[in-house]
Chain A
Amino acid sequence: MIALRGKTTASTLAAPLPHSVWKLADSGTLDTQRRSRAFLLDGGCAAPPSFNLYLARSTDPRDDLPANTVRLPPELDYLSGGDVLSVSEDGERIRVLWRHRSRQNSILLTERCNHYCLMCSQPPKTANDDRLLDEAFELMRLLPRDTMEIGFTGGEPTLYGTELVDLLRLCTNLHPEAEVHVLSNGRRFADPEYAAAWASIDNPNLMVGIPIYGAEPARHDYVVQAEGAFNETVRGIVNLAQLKQRVELRVVLHRQTAPALPEIAEFIARNLPFVDQVALMGLEMIGLARANIPALWIDPTEYADELVEAVTLLDRSHVHTMVYNHQLCLIPRSVWPFAVRSISDWKNEYHPECLRCSVKDDCGGFFFSAKYKMSDKISAIEDGQAEPALLALGAD
């Protein structure tokens, strides 16, 4: 599990830092800019001049740090040139905003939210955190031109209204080739003006990922703990589609949603067939999900039939469908073509059974948080094992 935040263990800062967002340069960095750059010291070598901030690893042998330097805790020693950090004014707290080498960066825009999902992995807070949005603007300016994927999440990013649109417009202008993905409950798009503002970003690589947890209001509203959510979300999806905006629907699978998966799939296929893709997602056992295990936990093998039915229906209705965060040994083999190896590298773990599994490299493994609750049916797939077909389907 890779740490994304930490506290520095020493500091030689003479004054508060002038700003919070810093891009790391190291001895391998060729870029000569100094604006917003911090230098990552390398072992015993001298600090190059004119940086406003230096970072030393915990293993750096120097006892006397150069001026304007902070010492990283061991869990942040992995940082390297190209990474982008948010550093508190006093130099004590560091948040990693962007890891240059990772393909799974996720930019948190706010922890505020107008939902309170039973399984929320990012429990909502109410305090004003506009600074996260400000940092995101700055981050856009610091990312390299060849950045391929940029993901924004929350909380609920659309709470920022048109400021979110402004951010995405800046992102589009500075990174026109990047795939941009925003997670949102979609309710704000029920307002046609907001949907139009979103469409005016005019980025063909922009997609919004919107969760849907039922085929009618009662189930969905219960899962997200907000009345009227289903109606606004679906209306928002329709508005976006009419403006030809790309939409992904996400269904997190747990005890409250998995039994209804075929109905949800049917509802999507019949009412929202124009969506660009559907992602069926395994539950991450963090945040509020841990507190709600009794209401949420279901062994994936228990919903195997529903999963096959839903995936089959959507796929044959020409809706691009993907299954995330499910270990391969827990899903029917007919679903494997739809399984994506998707667990973020900073969350990835494996089970002892996996050591001798022949398909380990194709499987996403587990969330680190799975240690709190996982299926007891995890078992290695032997090479040449007979088809463990949980549901035999006709020829495709």
Chain B
Amino acid sequence: MIERSVHFDASGHSLDAVQRAAYRLSDRLSCEISKRDDTIEATLFLAEDAEDPEALIAEFRNEVLDQALRERIRTETSDIRNLVLALAFSKTGLTDTDV
């Protein structure tokens, strides 16, 4: 097992984003996540014969950033999402037609 620690500043990264990133890559690495004060520590475990460990770790870091962006999009659009779905299934405003 190759073991590496990656640290994230908790004020700029959420625990949720780090967890989601770890989940997404869980076919190629496993992860222990802990939070202490202002730091999130992700300990990554890669197989000994992992093809390109550095690239995988870089991918993990990038995935955390992407998950942070996804989180922002989710938050910003959650009201609109609910509005659209409510409107889609409402009886007012949209009559029951083949449209």
The CB with the most chain A CB atoms within 10 A, among B95, B98, B99, is that of B99
Q: Is B97 an interface residue (CB 8 A)?
A: yes
User: Which B residues are CB-close (under 8 A) to A242?
Assistant: 94-95, 97, 99
> Count of B residues near A, CB < 8 Å?
5
Q: Which chain B positions have C-beta within 8 A of A238?
A: 99
Interface residues on chain A, number (Cβ under 8 Å):
6
Q: Which residues of A contact B98 (CB under 8 A)?
A: 274
User: In the assembly, what is the distance between CA of A317 and CA of B99, in Å?
Assistant: 15
Q: How far is the CA of A242 from the CA of B92 in the complex (A)?
A: 13
Specify the main secondary structure of chain B where it touches its partner. loop
The CA-CA distance from A241 to B95 in the complex, in Å, is 11
Mark A residues whose CB is within 8 Å of B. Answer: 238, 241-244, 274
Q: How far is the CA of A212 from the CA of B96 in the complex (A)?
A: 26
8 A Cβ contacts from B45-98 to A: 94-95, 97-98
5 contacts between A and B (CB under 8 A): A241-B97, A242-B94, A242-B99, A243-B95, A244-B97
Cα of A326 to Cα of B62 in the assembled complex, Å: 52
B99 to A: closest C-beta gap in Å: 5
A243 to B94, CA, bound (A): 11
Known: A241-B99, A242-B97, A242-B99. 8 other contacts (CB 8 A): A238-B99, A241-B97, A242-B94, A242-B95, A243-B95, A244-B97, A274-B98, A274-B99
A242 to chain B, nearest CB (A): 5
Inter-chain CA distance A242–B98, complex, in Å, is 8
| Chain B minimum-CB-distance residue to A274 | B99
Closest 5 CB pairs of A and B: A242-B97, A242-B95, A241-B99, A242-B99, A274-B99
Residues of chain B contacted by A274 (CB below 8 angstroms): 98-99
Q: How many angstroms from the CA of A241 to the CA of B94 in the assembled complex?
A: 11
Q: Whose C-beta in chain B lies nearest to the C-beta of A244?
A: B97
Distance A33 CA – B41 CA, assembled complex (angstroms): 97
The residue in chain B whose Cβ has the minimal distance to the Cβ of A272 is: B99
For the complex, what is the distance from the CA of A274 to the CA of B99, rounded to whole Å?
7
